[in-house]
Structure 1
């Protein structure tokens, strides 16, 4: 296959996205990561409560099984040992937040629709689907509005009751794919980003209001991660620097999220109902630390992913026409923050979760 330029390869990657979530495309300025040693916080373990239910809406950062048939090996090699619909070598954000709140990762919507077992509803439900966004994206999968409609339908069908919702929390993690889709459709022009961000925040606010109106008392919404630090971008800088232009776009998104949603909803409700999980700060802080808990694991602060394609024409998990693997997996995923070009590894998500615990503590109270 003919060699392509990096720019063309990135566009093709986004246009052909079938099993991975694309967050960034543009190459901008540089942001140097300064590295230093720091002991990470230990994960807190809590007994599971049979009352609290978690309802998850979002993309591949939160999906735990709705894309099960689209996520190939070697995804899942750390946990549960085989592909299970998670865009990582193991656990993702949902898997860390759920037990901290006193429950377990809820069943995925598609898996429950197939089984129909009421015993699987004990911990809530996960509607998140890899590749989706607040609006329609490059994949033909349910956006957030559709995911909320699935939830509303289950309430109308009495699958979940008002009592179930009284002790529930919603987790919402979205927007990266909305920006990626815009970049592809607009030839990577950032001029329209401010207008897009306002539209995303506006639609997100309507969806969050509906979730609250349906009876969920608390919602945790993730901010945008530093898009410019994803390996898809940092590869250009030998995995040592980030794209400042994309990180600036993330900061603007997060500023509007804080002003237009968090402050507005909480002021109107006269009590905290929307909580922000600051992925931007959590990613940046985790990337600049070395993890040394249990005395034997060190977190690479470079932005290099663990699983990569053997050339620009292949991605993690790809095979050629003969079925031969066309990707390479690092010797030990525990030494990587990123699993592939877009997604953190299980180790990376653990590091991010450790940075988010102060925010989660407020939600749990």
Structure 2
């Protein structure tokens, strides 16, 4: 498919893509203005993946638990604007102080935000904007003890069952875009994953991603966006031992090998486009000379951080004492917590994934 034709179909999506079939390492940016298409209506979006895209599928639990932190302050602290133009705190199940990747992709498609979550959707109804199946902690595989998690494969199982039941119509699927937002959850728990080696993990991980895209295509989805991995070793989760001064080399090597294998395995699959998260993140958190890096203070240090290595953002003592540090201005930090960008961080990433107006 020609790039111009692809983006005409998206209308308004200008993503920096490591496109299949291009030379190794080449990146292409393209944009189409919706104003040129007077009959344009927003696309339907179906979202799969983990907490980079989850907008509330992991339900809240009673008590103060890490699994429910996204439903409580300080999560969502920049979320709502009242009548006076002031922001009010309102957690919505997103792992950020406001929006996440799926919201920004939805906006590029002409939607106000990510489509409704699967768990918040009434039976026998699919919103015209689509549905979000992404689930916090989701990997390509389910490991022992993950009772509340839903793997990406299981998300597609639900999607398929809703198509067969008629909840999601053929028209919904035919005119849809799918986002597969996987951010390396399985690699973060590599030591307990049961894989024999990092190489084994990468091979199985990328093979499963390809299998998921093939399933989605067999179900009728024509356009699929697939994240490659951001520099894992530069996330707070990996580089906290160095007080965020140095990236973890092993984590970054895993990401690079994963991305190379993924690109190779998807190279002949039409309609599948790799969103180059590695380049977008790397320009911000690793390239000290870049304008994007200088936009944020404190480098890779997150805005919200537990006081100890096993303390999470938002953790609270039973007697109401806060056990975390919160920066004064999330808009000046790239990372929100140990893994996820702030709203401003996502904004900076997605801005790089859009071409300039002059392109």
Q: Offset at 1:116? A: 3.8
- The 2-side partners of 1:146 and 1:358 are apart by 34
- The 1-side partners of 2:313 and 2:41 are apart by 38
**Divergent runs of 4+, >3 A:** 43-51, 115-118, 288-292
Using CA pairs under 8 Å that are at least 6 residues apart, name the structure with larger relative contact order, 1 or 2: 1
* Residue 144 of structure 2 is aligned to residue 155 of structure 1: no
Q: Offset at 1:156? A: 1.0
* Residue 91 of structure 2 is aligned to residue 91 of structure 1: no
Is the 1:44–1:100 contact (alpha carbons within 8 Å) kept by the matching residues of 2?
no
Partner of 1:77: 77
Partner of 2:16: none
RMSD, aligned CA: 2.6
* Residue 177 of structure 2 is aligned to residue 169 of structure 1: yes
- The 2-side partners of 1:100 and 1:313 are apart by 37
Is the 1:51–1:167 contact (alpha carbons within 8 Å) kept by the matching residues of 2?
no
Is the 2:183–2:227 contact (alpha carbons within 8 Å) kept by the matching residues of 1?
no
Partner of 1:34: none
* Residue 246 of structure 2 is aligned to residue 251 of structure 1: no
* Residue 163 of structure 2 is aligned to residue 181 of structure 1: no
TM-score, length-scaled by structure 2: 0.77
- The 2-side partners of 1:319 and 1:132 are apart by 25
Q: What is the SS of the residue equivalent to 2:134?
A: coil
Q: What is the SS of the residue equivalent to 2:119?
A: helix
Say if 1:310 and 1:205 are closer, same or farther in 2 by CA, change over 3 A: same
Offset from partner CA, 1:282-330 (integer Å, 9 cap, x none): 10112234459xxxx9422611100011233421011123232211210
Q: What is the SS of the residue equivalent to 2:353?
A: helix
1:354 to 335, 344, 351: 351
Offset from partner CA, 1:334-364 (integer Å, 9 cap, x none): 00000011111111111111122259xxxxx
Q: What is the SS of the residue equivalent to 1:275?
A: strand
- The 2-side partners of 1:291 and 1:68 are apart by 34
- The 2-side partners of 1:339 and 1:122 are apart by 31
- The 2-side partners of 1:231 and 1:175 are apart by 14
Q: What runs of 5+ residues in structure 1 fail to find an aligned partner?
A: 1-42, 267-272, 360-365
Q: How many residues of Structure 1 are paired with residues of Structure 2 in the alignment?
A: 300
The 5 A counterparts of 1:253-332 are: 253-261=258-266, 263-266=267-270, 273-287=271-285, 288=287, 289-290=290-291, 298-300=295-297, 302-332=299-329
- The 2-side partners of 1:337 and 1:94 are apart by 17
Is the 2:307–2:325 contact (alpha carbons within 8 Å) kept by the matching residues of 1?
yes
Q: What runs of 5+ residues in structure 2 fail to find an aligned partner?
A: 1-30, 61-67, 81-88
Say if 1:202 and 1:299 are closer, same or farther in 2 by CA, change over 3 A: same
Larger CA deviation: 335-344 vs 46-55: 46-55
Say if 1:329 and 1:301 are closer, same or farther in 2 by CA, change over 3 A: closer
Partner of 1:234: 239
Q: Say which structure is richer in helix.
A: 1
* Residue 104 of structure 2 is aligned to residue 107 of structure 1: no
1:129 to 135, 139, 160: 135
